[in-house]
Amino acid sequence: MNPIASALKSGTLPSREAKLLICCASAVASPERTVRLRAIVEQGVDWPRAIRMALVQGVMPLVYRYLTSELAEVMPSDAATVLRRAFHGNSLRNLHLSRELVRLTALLEQGGVEPLALKGPALAVTAYGDIAMRQFTDLDLLVRKSEVTRAVGILFNEGYAPHAGCSLGDLGRAGAYELALARSGAMTEIDLHWRLVPPYFPLAPDGEELWRRAVRVEVEGAAVRTLAHADYLLYLCAHGAKHGWQLLGGICDLAEVIRASSRTAARASLDWNDLSARAARTGARRAFALGMLLAHELLDAAVPDDVLEAARREPAVMRAARSFIGYVSDPGVDGPGFYQRWSVPLRVIAKPGARMRYLAARALLPSADDREFLRLPPVLHPLYYLLRPVRVAFKEGPAVLRRLVRLAPWPADHSSR
């Protein structure tokens, strides 16, 4: 048995709450998982911590449904109440966002823009068949680069404006690939994309073929266009890797897209050979391998053996997988640390030159957070290129020093001589 599967199945994870989340984080209940889950609960669970972890990891709806359907009789009443309220609150927010997605999609299409809905309600329906079973807090729309200006104008007419730290100048800024918009007084934010991931992290499908392969899903009684299953898998692998795989919910999305593809007509089922070839062509071979390995090991996703074996032969993929599983096992209160947030993206980029470009872009290109941190007039905007590395150093420097201290060999103790 490989080391990752061994750690999971031997029960050596340090936290019972983490084990509970992993057991519940599947849309498909199984007798084996339920037996394991019952044993975990009987050993004793810190329920407030488990619920907090479920919310942070983006799997609260799955945890709620699994526990209430399989182990309702052993849950403390106060924990059940907190989970139920969280679930219904999430459902109401998702319903609001879904209706806004339908409304905005129709307006954009009437204005000559062909948006593709990413993640959010569209992925909830695609992967889970139910908008209530995912956690999301905003809407993501992908439009062609040639349609961005038109799309922004339509959204402006609906009361949306650039989010704090963002501006229309982002449309032409180096490394930009999205514009964050919000509407005053509403609980809706939109990330308007013209690329799936930043140009310095080109590990996802892109271009006109996304629209040719796009499918329609029903959201609140209306048809919304979104990515095809295969494109979703490649995109989700790249998106998760870009962020250092911070959420168990992201792995759930992968596992459920794979399961959903097996339930569709044969013409829509996954062609794993083509998927692997496309991942290799776009430089996303390691990102794809990492995502598939985690989906299989954590959630029993039906990934072909040859894909898994290729992933296990990659030392960089195995180290990144162990880093994520260690984080999920004991996430703490501050989220993933510097090592995971920076090393996982670097590990999935195979070419040294591409890794250097990624590091330079991430360390030097100003972000919306930098512009929000210090508001400068347009004439002084070049100063953001000086501010960015300073902020990165202040934010990440202490973590780097702590890691170096832990890794440094201790000198021999000669005091007794």
Question: Looking at the 3D structure of the chain, how many domains does it have?
Answer: 2
Mean pLDDT of 316-332: 83
Mean pLDDT of 282-309: 94
Residue 416 lies in a domain: no
Residue 350: the pLDDT is 87
Instruction: Give the whole-angstrom CA distance, residue 219 versus residue 226.
Output: 11
Mean pLDDT of 284-288: 94
Residue 412 lies in a domain: no
Mark whether 269 and 401 lie in a shared domain.
no
Mark whether 264 and 376 lie in a shared domain.
no
Residue 405: the pLDDT is 54
Per mean pLDDT, which range of 309-313, 372-376, 399-403 is the poorest? 399-403
Which amino acid is residue 95, in one-letter code?
Answer: L
Retrieve residue 195's tokens. Answer: 């690329």
Mark whether 93 and 129 lie in a shared domain.
yes
CATH number at residue 146: 3.30.460.40
Q: How confident is the model at residue 267 (pLDDT cuts 50, 70, 90)?
A: very low
Terminal Cα-to-Cα distance of the chain (whole angstroms):
47
| Contact yes or no for 124/134 (Cβ under 8 A) | yes
SS3 content of the chain, % helix, strand, coil (to 5): 65, 5, 30
% of the chain exceeding 70 in pLDDT = 88
Mark whether 146 and 277 lie in a shared domain.
yes
Indicate the DSSP class of residue 59: -
Retrieve residue 34's tokens. Answer: 């339920």
Strand order in the sheet with 222-226: 160-162, 178-183, 189-193, 139-142, 116-118, 222-226, 215-219
Q: Is 256 helix (H, G, I), strand (E, B) or coil?
A: helix
Mark whether 112 and 162 lie in a shared domain.
yes
Q: Is 377 helix (H, G, I), strand (E, B) or coil?
A: coil
* Half-sphere exposure for 401 (CA within 13 Å, toward CB): 6
Q: How confident is the model at residue 51 (pLDDT cuts 50, 70, 90)?
A: very high
Residue 259 lies in a domain: yes
Q: How confident is the model at residue 14 (pLDDT cuts 50, 70, 90)?
A: low
Mark whether 320 and 384 lie in a shared domain.
no
The total of other beta-carbon atoms located within 10 Å of residue 147's CB is 17
Highest mean pLDDT among 241-250, 284-293, 375-384: 284-293
- Sign of the CA dihedral with 326 first, then 332, 333, and 337 last: negative
Residue 241 lies in a domain: yes
Domain span at 374: 366-407
Highest mean pLDDT among 107-121, 173-187, 325-339, 384-398: 107-121
Q: Which residue has the higher pLDDT, 156 or 328?
A: 156
Residue 413 lies in a domain: no
Q: Is 160 helix (H, G, I), strand (E, B) or coil?
A: strand
Report pTM.
0.89
Using alpha carbons, list the distances in angstroms from residue 406 to 76, 319, 323: 40, 18, 16
Retrieve residue 245's tokens. Answer: 């795989």
Mean pLDDT of 70-97: 94
Highest mean pLDDT among 43-57, 157-171, 317-331: 43-57
Residue 313: the pLDDT is 95
Mark whether 312 and 371 lie in a shared domain.
no
Residue 79: the pLDDT is 94
Mark whether 56 and 146 lie in a shared domain.
yes
| Residue carrying the six token digits 């972890």 | 53
Mark whether 139 and 168 lie in a shared domain.
yes
Mark whether 370 and 293 lie in a shared domain.
no
Instruction: Give the whole-angstrom CA distance, residue 50 versus residue 141.
Output: 32
Mean pLDDT of 237-256: 93
Using alpha carbons, list the distances in angstroms from residue 307 to 97, 274, 342, 347, 358: 36, 12, 25, 18, 26
Mark whether 395 and 355 lie in a shared domain.
no
Mean pLDDT of 129-157: 95
Mark whether 83 and 46 lie in a shared domain.
yes
Residue 415: the pLDDT is 45
Residue 417 lies in a domain: no
- For the chain, the average pLDDT equals 87
Mean pLDDT of 293-307: 94
